[in-house]
Amino acid sequence: MFRKVLIANRGEIAVRIARTLHEMGIGVVAVYSEPDRASLHVRVADEAYPIGPAASAESYLRIDKVIAAAKLAGADAIHPGYGFLSENPALPEACEQAGIVFIGPPASAMRAMGSKPAARAKMAEAGVPIVPGGPAGSVDEALATAERIGYPVMLKAASGGGGKGMRLVEKRADLAAAWESARSISKKSFGDDTVYLEKAIVKPRHVEIQVLGDRFGNVVHLFERDCSIQRRHQKVVEETPCPVATPDLVRQMGDVAVRGAKAVGYHSAGTFEFLLADDGSFYFLEMNTRLQVEHPVTEWVTGVDLVREMVRIAAGEPLAFTQEQVTRRGAAIECRIYAEDPASGFLPSPGTIQQIRPPAGPGIRDDGGAYPGSVVSSFYDPLVSKLSVWAPDRAQAIARMRRALGEYVVTGIRTNLSFHEKLFEHPDFVAGRYDTGFLDRHKDSLLGYRDVPEGDIEALAASVAIAVARLEAGAGAAVGATSEDAARLAPWVATHRARLARG
């Protein structure tokens, strides 16, 4: 077993990984950017090393700096967490060259599943059902593909994830503009403007299967998670079991996921994502070759510590159980607690946390990365914590989550806690009647915001960060913001000014 592991990440996931490593008697090495010097993940580590300035491209995304820190610390292995370098095959390759073990899948599997069109082709060969689709290298090619598979269609970025670059097109006249927009966002987000087309499945559920494999060819699945509650194609609530999935359907999806994992020689933890149609048919969406944000709900119901299993597998140990030995009990739900304002289109709410008091009690888990006085930076994802609950059944889990949300206290920043409270009171959600379009259909009652075009989100978020920084420095309005930006930001900045005055 490893003596010391470096965690190539930050925030709540780095804290969560550190906890399991400490339980295993393994030393924890943290890395941090300049603004993260006082972060919780640094405080819980046994030792920590700086790797650069705030920008991820100069710190957390620098493989050379991560490897150098691991060598300096004498780390045996590196765990990437999720995001950042977790799905970059160059990291496991660099680890191998440096004589350091990568706690994750092989680079070959990452490459096989990293390109969505290539992954679709690979899964089709393995007998995994895929959504009808095809290439969209030009407007003419996109038009031809759309005519062949039929409207509505979904334009998607070939690289990356998080819903960036996705465009729903319902008729031929809208395809050219959507194609240009999807390519532009894909290029900006992932450095690759390649897009492709898929048939749009009307009102699908987003259901995923957790898989776990060792280096000896053994692969099991750990049941499903329903991740259909999303905003802009990004998950905000996840639960297991899926409210509408029968045991037979879960078994079918699990068998398909295991077959897909074996087809690419996969080991470690990974997730197969599917679209589930009303008629029970399901289609491969993508594979995430890493630990998922929502992994706690699977851990709740199965009793399996996925991080511990990843470490064991990386150390060369076989799976400790067979598929027949994997069981689950009860129901679990997770809410992602973000520093963002649902009433303003989920714009980020960076700032200093004045007070934070997570809920406690039976069946409650809070995977957090913050403490009173810590800063939610505008440079990184504004996830404050993952609040999850377990109960014997779904109804009790919902009641427990309501209680937990009511106990959760965060001041100094805006959060989406009020949104979650409204969601868990909504009769359709309580009844399990939802799909990926649920939030858009109920935004007036759940969110209370006006639509903000997806293309404006990053620009607005940057303007918010500049406005807040200038405001705190007493410099007035945001530099570089247009009059339109200023109008959009005025309520947010006024709220922030009021918070500063109270503080």
Say whether both 423 and 495 belong to one domain: no
What mean pLDDT do residues 124-131 have? 91
Q: Which of 157-171, 280-294, 476-490 has the highest mean pLDDT?
A: 280-294
Say whether both 213 and 270 belong to one domain: yes
3-state secondary structure 314-352: HCCCCCCCCHHHCCCCCEEEEEEEECEEHHHCCEECCEE
Q: How far apart are CA 51 and CA 65, in angstroms?
A: 6
The answer to whether residue 497 scores a pLDDT higher than 60 is: no
Query: Residues, the chain, total?
Result: 503
The type of residue at 325 is Q
Say whether both 35 and 49 belong to one domain: yes
Each residue of 401-423: pLDDT tens digit? 999 999 999 999 999 999 999 99
Say whether both 314 and 246 belong to one domain: yes
Q: Per-residue confidence at 64, pLDDT binned at 50, 70, 90?
A: very high
Query: Of the candidates 179, 199, 219, which is a domain's last residue?
Result: 199
Pair 52, 28: CB distance under 8 Å: no
Which pLDDT does position 232 carry in this prediction?
A: 80
Say whether both 94 and 114 belong to one domain: no
Q: Per-residue confidence at 314, pLDDT binned at 50, 70, 90?
A: very high
Query: Of the candidates 199, 225, 250, which is a domain's last residue?
Result: 199
Say whether both 112 and 214 belong to one domain: yes
Which pLDDT does position 455 carry in this prediction?
A: 53
The answer to whether residue 498 scores a pLDDT higher than 60 is: no
Q: How far apart are CA 103 and CA 86, in angstroms?
A: 10
Which pLDDT does position 492 carry in this prediction?
A: 44
Which pLDDT does position 465 carry in this prediction?
A: 57
The answer to whether residue 175 scores a pLDDT higher than 80 is: yes
Each residue of 424-439: pLDDT tens digit? 999 999 999 999 999 9
Query: 191 versus 388: which is more confidently predicted?
Result: 388
Say whether both 239 and 114 belong to one domain: yes
Cβ count within 10 A of residue 90: 12
Say whether both 303 and 172 belong to one domain: no
Burial (0-12, 13-18, 19+ Cβ within 10 Å), 502: exposed
Output the domain CATH number for residue 40: 3.40.50.20
Burial (0-12, 13-18, 19+ Cβ within 10 Å), 138: exposed
The answer to whether residue 451 scores a pLDDT higher than 60 is: no
Say whether both 53 and 80 belong to one domain: yes
Q: What is the three-class DSSP state of 482?
A: coil
Pairing of strands 355-357, 234-240: unpaired
| Cα torsion 208, 209, 213, 217: sign | negative
What mean pLDDT do residues 77-99 have? 97
The answer to whether residue 486 scores a pLDDT higher than 50 is: no
Which pLDDT does position 462 carry in this prediction?
A: 58
The answer to whether residue 489 scores a pLDDT higher than 70 is: no
Which pLDDT does position 481 carry in this prediction?
A: 43
The answer to whether residue 201 scores a pLDDT higher than 80 is: yes
What average pLDDT does the structure give for the chain? 90
Q: Per-residue confidence at 158, pLDDT binned at 50, 70, 90?
A: confident
DSSP codes, 106-166:
-HHHHHHHHSHHHHHHHHHHTT--B-SEEE-SSHHHHHHHHHHH-SSEEEEESS--TTTT-
Q: Of 110-119, 286-295, 310-319, 351-360, which range is least confident?
A: 110-119
Per the listing, tokens 């915001």 go with 449
Cβ count within 10 A of residue 305: 16
Say whether both 265 and 246 belong to one domain: yes
Residues 6 or more apart whose CB falls under 8 angstroms from that of 143 comprise 172, 175, 176
Which pLDDT does position 165 carry in this prediction?
A: 80
What is the domain count for the chain? 5
Output the domain CATH number for residue 367: 3.30.470.20
Under the phi-then-psi rule, with left for phi > 0, alpha for psi from -120 to 50, and beta for the rest, what region is 150? left
Q: In which domain, by residue range, is 56 found?
A: 4-103
- 102, β-bridge pairs: 78
Query: 456 versus 325: which is more confidently predicted?
Result: 325
Q: Which of 11-25, 149-163, 274-288 has the highest mean pLDDT?
A: 11-25
Peptide bond just before 152 cis, omega within 30 deg:
yes
The answer to whether residue 449 scores a pLDDT higher than 70 is: no
Q: How far apart are CA 439 and CA 401, in angstroms?
A: 19
The answer to whether residue 476 scores a pLDDT higher than 50 is: no
Is 290 in the active site? yes
Each residue of 225-240: pLDDT tens digit? 999 999 888 899 999 9
Furthest-apart CA atoms within the chain: distance in Å: 64
Q: At what angle do helices 116-125 and 107-114 cross, to 10 degrees?
A: 100
Which pLDDT does position 191 carry in this prediction?
A: 81
Say whether both 395 and 304 belong to one domain: no
Question: Which tokens is 46 given?
Answer: 């046994």
Query: Of the candidates 296, 329, 362, which is a domain's last residue?
Result: 329
What is the percent of the chain with per-residue pLDDT over 70, rounded to a whole number?
A: 88
Each residue of 347-383: pLDDT tens digit? 899 999 999 999 999 999 999 999 999 999 999 999 9
The answer to whether residue 487 scores a pLDDT higher than 90 is: no
Say whether both 89 and 208 belong to one domain: no
Which pLDDT does position 399 carry in this prediction?
A: 98
Identify each DSSP E strand in 165-267 by its residue range. 167-169, 195-199, 205-213, 219-231, 234-240
The answer to whether residue 143 scores a pLDDT higher than 70 is: yes
Q: Which of 290, 312, 365, 488 is catalytic?
A: 290
What is the percent of the chain with per-residue pLDDT over 90, rounded to a whole number?
A: 78
Which pLDDT does position 264 carry in this prediction?
A: 96
The answer to whether residue 332 scores a pLDDT higher than 80 is: yes
Output the domain CATH number for residue 171: 3.30.1490.20
Q: Of 56-65, 155-164, 197-206, 433-442, which range is least confident?
A: 155-164
